[in-house]
Amino acid sequence: MGINTHIADYDWNAALAALAWQVELGVTEVMNESAIDRYDLPEKQEPVLAKAKPAAPVIHEAPKVDKTLAAQTAADACADLAALRTALGTFDHCDLKKGARNLVFAEGNPEAPLLIVGEAPNRDDDIEARPFAGRTGQLLDKMLAAIGFARNSDSPATSAYLIPAVPWRPPADHVPSDDEIAMMRPFLLRHIALAKPRVIIVMGNTACASLLDQSGVLRLRGTWALAQNIPVMPMAHPAYLLKNHAAKRDAWADLLAVQARLKS
């Protein structure tokens, strides 16, 4: 049985009641006013578009910085020691800076004929923000006095200028890595170029590695080297001499060689 229906404005409940009434009358199918050709297909079907996947987020990696080149650029731009100190203070590419209290730049008269390059700062140096502090500094002062020099002499001619090879204390006083030494080398070389000493003493392995690109200070000591056309004498660090008293004899011989070189 079929029924030709005309859809009126029904609400939901009225439409459901009308459908139930037609079912009760025996209606089995619904007829439209016009026949439908089930074989009639559209000439062109719209393609079914696959659901687009959300685009993966674009992650922009920060460009890698050549830290040694950045140090070289910063050091080359320094026209004087004040600018060099500022450049070191604002240089943030060296991780040693993050764990240190203070920048250890220098002490003494920069016009001194004698420049001493020490190791990376230790705990005393870091606290006092000056190189060769504490017991090692006390021993160094005695060594310098023995050949007529002092870090705080009133006369530039008898002054010594002290700088560290690396300006920040490494965590737990570990030896700076080769990368850290290479990164800080441009600042060290610029420091020497601005100070213009006549003679340089490098004390300890880090100082030798930084300026002479060699290690083994006990093997190198007593033999003159050259850096930036300046005579360089490698020596044992005062911290080593405090623990190895027998090495003081060799240190005294090295100091006499430095004294003679300065007099000549």
pLDDT band at residue 37 under the 50/70/90 scheme: low
Higher pLDDT, 23 or 50: 23
Q: Is the pLDDT of residue 7 over 60?
A: no
Could you tell me which of 196, 258, 195, 170 has the C-alpha nearest to residue 221? 258
Q: pLDDT value at position 219?
A: 97
| Higher per-residue confidence, 61 vs 119 | 119
Question: What is the CATH topology of the domain spanning 67-263?
Answer: Uracil-DNA Glycosylase, subunit E (3.40.470)
Tens digit of each residue's pLDDT (9 = 90 or more) over 45-87? 556 555 666 777 777 666 788 999 999 999 999 999 999 999 9
What pLDDT score does 36 carry? 64
Q: Could you tell me what percent of the chain has a pLDDT over 70?
A: 85
Query: Is the model's pLDDT at 1 over the cut of 60?
Result: no
pLDDT at 178: 96
Per the structure block, which two tokens stand in for 258? 């430095």
Q: Over the stretch 222-246, which tens digit does the pLDDT of each residue have?
A: 999 999 999 999 999 999 999 999 9
Q: How far apart are CA 236 and CA 195, in angstroms?
A: 23
How far is 152 from 135, CA to CA, in rounded Å? 17
The yes-or-no verdict on residue 5 having pLDDT over 80 is no
Checking phi first, is residue 17 left (phi over 0); if not, alpha (psi -120 to 50) or beta?
A: alpha
